[in-house]
Amino acid sequence: MGAHEVTAWDRWSRRLHEAAVRPGATEGLMEERQGAGLLALVPGLLLVGGVLADVLGPVPYSGLPLLAAAPLVGCMVLPFRGAMITAVCACVVSVGTDLVVHRPVLALVVDLLDVAVISAIALWLKWVVRRQGKRFAAVRAVAEVAQRAVLPPLPPTVGALSVATRYECAYAEAQIGGDFYAVQASPFGVRALIGDVRGKGLPAVSAMAVMTSAFREAAGRMPSLRALADHLDRVLMRLAADTGDATDSLERFATAVLVEIRVDEGVLHVCNRGHPPPYLIRDGEVRSLEPAVAGLPLGMGLPEGEAPPGTDTFAFRRGDYLLLVTDGVTEARDAKGTYYEPRTGLSGRGFHGASHLVDTLVAEVTAWTGGQRQDDMAILVLTPLPTPPSEPSG
């Protein structure tokens, strides 16, 4: 089997990791494995059916369609080597059955040509698909490396907060997505950013790199989230001007949410610039932190005479979880086209840390979409570290 050839067995093996994070996933894996095994038997069953139809059937040539279909189905459900063996077997069986039933030489040759031509076409198509799959896999690998280069993993703790992240790439059209996040300790508390750049590919990567770098550089010196958001807005507009996109600001913008958490004061500040709102999880209740005034995405500027949106303040105490996501979560759809709702999917659950919440959400979205996500998905979870035990006196 080729290194990047996808078969029913490959699709089953990629689901192994789900069993560790989603209840009931083991039963689904076993059912899918059994289904993959049954599919691998179909080409052999077609060969047997073709022989029986030729030998026992009342009408001449009744088994030829089954024999011709065997290599075609084999190319769909088997690796390349198995499909080639099936094609050879189909040709041999075609000649053998014609000899057994004493068909004329001309009929034998015609049957053999029919099976051989269909087998050759099926094998050629499988070879083309496999070659394209290898190229596509190489492009995806390069894209993932570039994504990780501009979006390095975050430390498990920043300041007085525990941090957990996850980036699930949908590999839409083998291009790099524009989701990003960053967390930075500052004199004003722990500040975090999550956002989504419009578009994909290298322009999205460059905007991601500029946004995260500008955030890390300015998070420790801007006195407020509003000032920090305005700074990022100017940075993205300057990037658009430098790259020649300034004539149309709609071509280069990013939705984003900036948060500032002061654990000692129990305060959470949120500045939303056109992004899906974060979620506050407290005692099993999931609350959407909607902005009082909706702000425009970063990079679009502000209409003349309009003041920039301010920040919203919420209580944030120990035991709370702040969940920030991109639209890969909020716009994940099931087979009926219904959007996933974190307030419903996560409500009433208990979590054993930020990583547990991330794993649970990823499993929820994967189950909701059936593993077929339509967009990249970035998740950032922040929660206060537990209070360290007091040392004994004396």
For the record, the structure tokens of 218 come out as: 């300015």
Same domain as 99, residue 242: no
Q: Of 143, 171, 196, which closes a domain?
A: 143
Average pLDDT, the chain: 80
Same domain as 201, residue 60: no
**What was the pLDDT predicted at 22?**
42
Q: Of 95, 117, 143, which closes a domain?
A: 143
Average pLDDT over residues 113-120: 89
Average pLDDT over residues 123-144: 81
pLDDT one-digit tens code per residue, 193-223? 999 988 766 677 778 888 999 999 999 999 9
Nearest CA to 272 out of 230, 312, 302 is that of 312
Q: Of 90, 118, 143, which closes a domain?
A: 143
Please check whether residue 328 is in contact with residue 380, taking contact to mean a CB–CB distance below 8 angstroms.
no
Same domain as 166, residue 92: no
Q: Is residue 148 part of a domain?
A: no
**What was the pLDDT predicted at 29?**
40
Report d(CA 2, CA 180) in Å as an integer: 34
Radius of gyration (Cα) for the chain, nearest Å?
A: 29
Same domain as 368, residue 313: yes
Regarding pTM above 0.75, the answer is: no
Same domain as 20, residue 95: yes
Average pLDDT over residues 351-375: 89
Q: Is residue 34 part of a domain?
A: yes
Q: Is residue 323 part of a domain?
A: yes
pLDDT one-digit tens code per residue, 328-352? 899 888 888 899 999 998 998 889 9
Confidence of residue 171 (pLDDT cuts 50, 70, 90): low
**What was the pLDDT predicted at 56?**
80
pLDDT at 391 over 60: no
Other Cβ atoms less than 10 A from the Cβ of 145: the count is 10
Identify the sign of the CA torsion 53, 56, 62, 67: positive
Average pLDDT over residues 55-77: 79
Q: Is residue 227 part of a domain?
A: yes
Strand ranges (DSSP E) for 178-284?
Answer: 179-186, 189-197, 254-262, 267-273, 279-282
Average pLDDT over residues 114-142: 84
Report d(CA 138, CA 131) in Å as an integer: 11
pLDDT at 174 over 70: no
Q: Is residue 362 part of a domain?
A: yes
pLDDT one-digit tens code per residue, 151-165? 778 899 999 999 999
CATH of the domain at 182: 3.60.40.10
Same domain as 329, residue 190: yes
Residues written for the chain: 394
Structure-model confidence comparison of residues 216 and 22, the more confident one:
216
Same domain as 133, residue 265: no
Same domain as 234, residue 363: yes
User: CA 126: distance to chain centroid?
Assistant: 26
**What was the pLDDT predicted at 175?**
52
Structure-model confidence comparison of residues 23 and 374, the more confident one:
374
Structure-model confidence comparison of residues 147 and 378, the more confident one:
378
**What was the pLDDT predicted at 291?**
92
Residue in this structure with the two tokens 């984003």, named with its chain if needed: 256
165: β partners = 380
Q: Inter-axis angle of helices 80-100 and 64-77, to 10 degrees?
A: 170
Report d(CA 74, CA 45) in Å as an integer: 11
Same domain as 304, residue 248: yes
Q: Is residue 391 part of a domain?
A: no
Q: Is residue 207 part of a domain?
A: yes
pLDDT one-digit tens code per residue, 250-301? 457 899 999 999 999 999 999 999 999 999 999 989 999 999 887 889 888 7
CA distances, 354 to each of 135, 167, 282, 287 (Å):
37, 15, 13, 17
Average pLDDT over residues 299-312: 73
Same domain as 177, residue 137: no
The residue segments making up the domain with residue 30 are 8-143
DSSP single-letter state for residue 185: E
Phi then psi dihedrals of residue 384, to 5 deg: -65, 140
Nearest CA to 152 out of 125, 123, 180, 177 is that of 180
Same domain as 354, residue 238: yes
User: Dihedral, CA atoms, 345, 346, 347, 349, nearest 10 degrees?
Assistant: 130
Q: Is residue 45 part of a domain?
A: yes
Same domain as 294, residue 204: yes
Confidence of residue 5 (pLDDT cuts 50, 70, 90): very low
pLDDT at 3 over 60: no
Q: Biggest alpha carbon distance in the chain?
A: 106
pLDDT at 25 over 70: no
Domain count, the chain: 2
